[in-house]
Amino acid sequence: MRSPYLRAERILVIRLTSYAASHRINIVTSPASDQSSRPSWAAIALIGVITIFWGVNFPSIKIAVSEFPVWTFRVICVICGATAMLGIGSLILGHSPFVAKGERRKAALAGLCNIGGFQLCVAFGLMVVDAGRGTIIAYTMPLWATIFATIFLGERLTFTRILGLFIGLSGLLVLIGPGLTTLGASFNGTLLLLAAAVLWGAGTVLIKSQNWTTPVIILTGWQFIFGGIPILLGMLLFETGVEIGPISTKAWLAVAYSALVPMIICHLVWYTLIGMLPASIAAISTLAIPIVGVYSSAILLGERVGTREWLALCLVVCALAIVLVPPSDWRRKKR
DSSP string, 80-113: HHHHHHHHIIIIIS---SSPPTTSHHHHHHHHII
Average pLDDT for 210-235: 92
Q: What is the pLDDT of residues 43-98, one digit of tens each?
A: 888 888 998 999 999 999 999 999 999 999 999 999 999 999 999 999 999 999 99
Q: How far apart are the first and last CA of the chain?
A: 56
| Residue 143 neighbours by CB under 8 Å, 6+ apart | 164, 165, 168, 169, 197, 201, 319, 320, 323
Q: Which DSSP symbol is given to 40?
A: P
At residue 237, the pLDDT reads 92
CA geometry: angle 133, 82, 193, nearest 5 deg: 20
Average pLDDT for 215-235: 93
Whether the Cβ atoms of residue 106 and residue 210 lie closer than 8 Å to each other: yes
Written as one letter, the residue type at 265 is I
Question: What is the Cα–Cα distance from 124 to 202, expressed in whole angstroms?
Answer: 20
At residue 11, the pLDDT reads 52
Average pLDDT for 278-282: 56
Whether the Cβ atoms of residue 276 and residue 95 lie closer than 8 Å to each other: no
User: Within a 10 A sphere around the Cβ of 41, how many other Cβ atoms?
Assistant: 7
Helices (H), 88-184: 104-111, 118-125, 131-138, 141-152, 159-176, 179-182
Written as one letter, the residue type at 176 is I
At residue 15, the pLDDT reads 54
Question: What is the Cα–Cα distance from 181 to 177, expressed in whole angstroms?
Answer: 8
Diameter of the chain by CA atoms?
65
H/E element, 230: helix 216-238
Checking if the pLDDT of 327 tops 70, the result is no
Question: What is the Cα–Cα distance from 6 to 10, expressed in whole angstroms?
Answer: 6
Written as one letter, the residue type at 285 is S
Q: What percent of the chain lies above the pLDDT cut of 90?
A: 35
CA geometry: angle 122, 322, 149, nearest 5 deg: 60
- Cβ-in-10-Å burial (0-12, 13-18, 19+) of 4 comes to exposed
Interhelix angle 70-87/267-276, rounded to 10 degrees, is: 50
| Poorest-pLDDT segment among 1-15, 103-117, 146-160, 234-248 | 1-15
Q: 66: closest CA among 190, 228, 241, 248?
A: 248
Question: What is the Cα–Cα distance from 244 to 68, expressed in whole angstroms?
Answer: 7
Which position has the higher pLDDT, 323 or 289?
289
At residue 325, the pLDDT reads 66
Average pLDDT for 271-289: 67
| Residue 166 neighbours by CB under 8 Å, 6+ apart | 319
Which position has the higher pLDDT, 290 or 182?
290
Whole-Å CA distances, 54 to 50, 186, 289, 334: 6, 23, 7, 32
Average pLDDT for 256-284: 77
Question: What is the Cα–Cα distance from 98 to 254, expressed in whole angstroms?
Answer: 31
At residue 143, the pLDDT reads 80
pTM value is 0.77
Whether the Cβ atoms of residue 164 and residue 319 lie closer than 8 Å to each other: yes
At residue 222, the pLDDT reads 96
Average pLDDT for 259-270: 87
Q: Which DSSP symbol is given to 117?
A: I
Work out the mean pLDDT of the chain and round it to a whole number.
80
Kindly list the domain boundaries of the chain, sorted by start residue: 57-240+247-327
